[in-house]
Structures are given as C-alpha cells and as structure tokens.
Amino acid sequence: MNQKIQSALISVFYKDGLDSLAKTLHQLGVTIYSTGGTQQFIEALGIPCIGVESITHYPSILGGRVKTLHPKVFGGILGRRELEQDLAEMNQYEIPAIDLVIVDLYPFEETVASTSEEKLIIEKIDIGGPSMIRAAAKNHAHVTVLASKDDYAVLENILQQQQGETTLVQRRSFAAKAFKVVMDYDIAISDYFNTQTTVLRYGENPHQQAKFTGNPDELFEQLHGKELSYNNLVDVDAALQLIGEFGDEQQAVFAIIKHTNVCGIASRASLPEAWHDALAGDPESAFGGILVCNQTVDEQTAQAISEIFFEVLLAPDYTAEAMTILQQKKNRILLKTKAHTQAGASVMRRSLLNGTISQDQDQGNYSEWKEVGGRETTATEKENLIFANLVCKHLKSNAIAIVKDKQLIGKGCGQTSRVDALRQALEKARQFNAELKGSVLASDAFFPFDDCVSMAHAAGIEAFIQPGGSIRDKDSIAYCEANQLAMVFTGQRHFRH
C-alpha cells in the first residue's frame, strides 16, 4: 500500500546531505517538524519548520537530554492509521500524524575512539533517537524511517518519481536498515560497558603511556607471572592468531614469536619434538620470545623450554609437574588458552591520519590450488606448501618462508625487496645448517620476475607457492617449466604491515 508523506520529523546530528532532501520535501508540501540545531539548519535554507516544542508544549530540558520523549511525538509516529480507536485518540489529544522520521544517532563510537573522558562518552549515548527510530520502524506499515544519511538520496529519488509516496516494500526495507543501525549502536554501548580498560606500565617504549581496552579473559587465563606489557600483548595476539591456524592439526605444533613474526615453528608427533624442531629453526632469535603450542605442556616439554629465556608461554593446559618447573621463574608469564581460535574480532582496526581504518580479518590459507609449474607437486610437497603458506601469512611483508618436513628452516620478513627477503631466508637456513634440498618456499605476494625462483632453485628448492595474478607471472612460470619445478598459485595474497 502506498503512503503519501504529508509530515516529517527531522532531528539529526550530521547535517551534510540533508539540504537537498529538505528542499524536496518542502516542494512536495510536506510539513516539517524538527528540533534544536536541525531546525535552525532547515530554517536557514528558507524552509518553514515547526519546532517540536509547539507540539509537546515543553521546551528542550535537562541540557537537551529530553526533547522528543513525549506522547504527542511518539503517538504521532506509532498511531495506526487503519484503527479508528487510534485515530480517535490522536484527534482527542491533538496528536499530529508523522509520516516520515529522519533521525540519526549521537556519535558514540567516534567519541569513545577520540577520548577516554567518561562524562563526554556518556553524553553521547542517544536516548530519544533510537526510540524514535524503533517506533517508526515498528510502524512501517504507515511510516517511513531513515536512520542514516546514506539513504537521503535514495528517498529523495523515490519521492520525486512517486509524487511524494512510498510503497510498503520500500518502507519495510528502510525499517530493516533502521533496526540494524539501532542494533549496532546498542552493541557498541554494551561493548563499552562490558569491556575492561587496564592502564599498562608503559607503551611500546618506556616514555609512552599506554592502556589496553578489551576482554582478554575470553581468550586466556593468566596462571603465573608479571603483568602483561604492551609489547607482550601485541606478541600474544600474534601468537594466538598463528596457533589458531592449526586448530584442526592432529599433531603437536609449537611456535616461537618475536616482534609478532614467527621465528620458529614445527609440527611433530609429540610436543617435545615439536619444541625441539621449532627452536632448531632459529635458536638465536628465540631468546626472549613468546612461545605458543596447541597441546598440554608436560614435564618433559617444560624442562626443555626452561633451558632458554622466554617472556610468555601460551598453552591449552599444563600438567602439575610442568607448572612446578615453569613457576620457578617468578616473572615468567604462563597463559592457559581457552580455545584454539584466532584472537580478535572479525574486524581489524588501526589508527592513522587523525582517524581509523578497518578491514576484515585475513581469514583462510588459499582460495584456489592452481598448479602452474613444470610438474605437479608431490603429496609431501603439497603438505609442506600448505604449512609454509600459513607460516608466511604471519610474517611481515615482504615475506618468504622456507619449510621442510613441516618445520620452518628459513624466513625473511619485513624487507623492502622480495629478493632481500629471500636472501635473508636462505642465510637463516644456512646459519643453522639446514638442508635446503627438498624444502619448499612460500611467498606472501607474487614474483614479478624469475630472480627469486632461480635463486631459490640454485639453493636446492624445487616447489613454490605464491598468490599469482600478476601480469608478470609468465616469467616465473616459464622458469619452472624449463626446470621441471612445481609452482602453485593460491589466488589469495597475505600482505602484513
């Protein structure tokens, strides 16, 4: 059923984009009700506007906290136009029908991101806005609701094409969006009140102040040791992200993290073996690192790892004998992980340029398995390439990971050149006497030339995995074809800054 819009209530925090829609409403003869700054904005456009106070006969009170919370406002929004009793009561109490509600919400999340002053944050919890949005969305059989400026142009186009009317399908669509806006807003407020904030000793460096806001207790329990520092938290996050990749791994996996990069990792039949081979990949970098594994730490493993200095150990559990050994160092941090899942929310956020950017988490390993080399990968090569690609995903770009028998034997990371990353990886492998022949190589991005492939081949590597998708792929493919090397394209890049 089409509904003619004859009256609108407009009360918004952000005014950008509102002028064109307000002018269209005025041209269509719509009566506009508004509040405070929005009323002033509309009137400045030369458009007549009726203050909500003239309906309620109450001024905005309590510093603006109460403006629209009144039966004459909500009665006009919620009144059912098909019910005689509702219409009679609206007439009796002089409640004007409101056909369109345009309301956005106070910028709560933006305020939380910009200040830690709770008084300012609390004042940005909108009360009337969500209430009016929900009321209008509930009564979408008769009322159109806009809860986002992103829909201003959409509604304006509808009204121009349909002579000021909206269809039930359109109103229901706007209502669905409105309920989502309110839900997300309420979740943000709930997260704020249910998320703990801890002041840290200092930040990345001693002269920097720092705090952590979140619920790490959902991910792990601290059993022993000093308070986690800023750098500890960053590395623990990297460790949980990494070990989460191996949630389905049947064998024991042990990894060593240093400055968020993997410096050692191995998968073996037992945890002591996994630790031994993870350490063997780079025993020099392991000093002072963060350790993480996917199985219960037993006495034998505890004895072995206690031979080096490390900051933090994360494991799903510890035997009593292992705890006795590990607790001998009073500052050593022991964390019991609650689930082998990747840490963090589904969205990653980062502050920069006086703002924030966000993106989805980098999920998965590869989106396709495309054999493009001079031969097919063997079963052993494929198993190691899958392992290497996951490891490479957790190295800073440009990144190269060299793996043999599901053990990281060489890695290059954080280099400005992919060739330099490969040189670093080969040097690391040779430094600790790793046998490169029979190993495989993973790259976090494509090879634009055949230089990396030829250099790795000269060292004894004969199987490669990379995202592919470059116009220069033909060079590395041609080299692999000429030399009977295996090359796999994954279709999924894993850059990491």
Catalytic machinery residues: 138, 259
Q: How far is CA 283 from the centre of its chain?
A: 33
Structure tokens that stand for 340 in this block: 């082998």
DSSP 289: E
Q: Is the dihedral of CA 27, 30, 31, 34 positive or negative?
A: negative
Whole-angstrom distance, CA of residue 78 vs CA of residue 99: 10
Residues 6+ apart with CB under 8 A from 139: 77, 78, 79, 80
Whole-angstrom distance, CA of residue 253 vs CA of residue 265: 7
Whole-angstrom distance, CA of residue 120 vs CA of residue 394: 39
Q: Is the dihedral of CA 63, 67, 70, 72 positive or negative?
A: positive
Q: How many Cβ atoms from other residues are within 10 Å of residue 10's Cβ?
A: 24
DSSP 329: S
> Strand runs (DSSP E) across 309-450, as ranges?
310-315, 333-337, 347-352, 355-360, 370-371, 400-404, 407-412, 440-443
Which DSSP string corresponds to 100-164?
A: EEEE----HHHHHHH---HHHHHHT--SHHHHHHHHHHHTTTT-EEE-SGGGHHHHHHHHHHTTT
Whole-angstrom distance, CA of residue 446 vs CA of residue 495: 11
Residues in the chain: 497
Which DSSP string corresponds to 171-219?
A: HHHHHHHHHHHHHHHHHHHHHHHHSEEEE-S-SSSTTS--EEEE-GGGT
Nearest to 147 by CA among 178, 170, 107, 172: 178
Structure tokens that stand for 231 in this block: 């750098």
Residue type, 461: I
Q: Is the dihedral of CA 49, 55, 58, 60 positive or negative?
A: negative
* Residue with tokens 């490479």, as numbered in its chain: 392
Whole-angstrom distance, CA of residue 79 vs CA of residue 142: 9
